[in-house]
Amino acid sequence: MTLTDPLGGIGLLGALNRIIMTFLGVVGALALLVFVYAGVVYMTAGGHEESVTKARDTMKYAIIGLALIIFAYVLTSFYLTALTG
């Protein structure tokens, strides 16, 4: 009886890389959906200053979030490539 490798030969760092990259992808998709939501709120504001301000702030925070996610993706990719390199 032989034991099979549950990671499929990718190793612990490879599995960690997949988990982190998948998580960052999901979070990035959610940030993009928030940005689209803010766009819809902006388009349907009808000139109400409060709604327009809310939509602009939401867009600003979504862009900041996407920038942080991209930075985390690049940083994680760099370090895991250096470790497995």
- 27-82 pLDDT, tens digit per residue, is 999 999 999 999 999 999 988 999 999 999 999 999 999 999 999 999 988 988 88
- The pLDDT score that the predictor gives to residue 16 is 85
The answer to whether 38 and 61 are in contact (CB under 8 A) is: no
How much is the pTM? 0.78
CA dihedral sign, ordered 43, 45, 47, 49: negative
Nearest Cα neighbor of 21 from 13, 11, 33, 31 is 13
User: Which has the higher per-residue pLDDT, 26 or 3?
Assistant: 26
Domain ranges within the chain, ordered by starting residue: 27-84
Indicate whether 15 pLDDT > 90: no
44 burial class (0-12, 13-18, 19+ CB within 10 angstroms)?
exposed
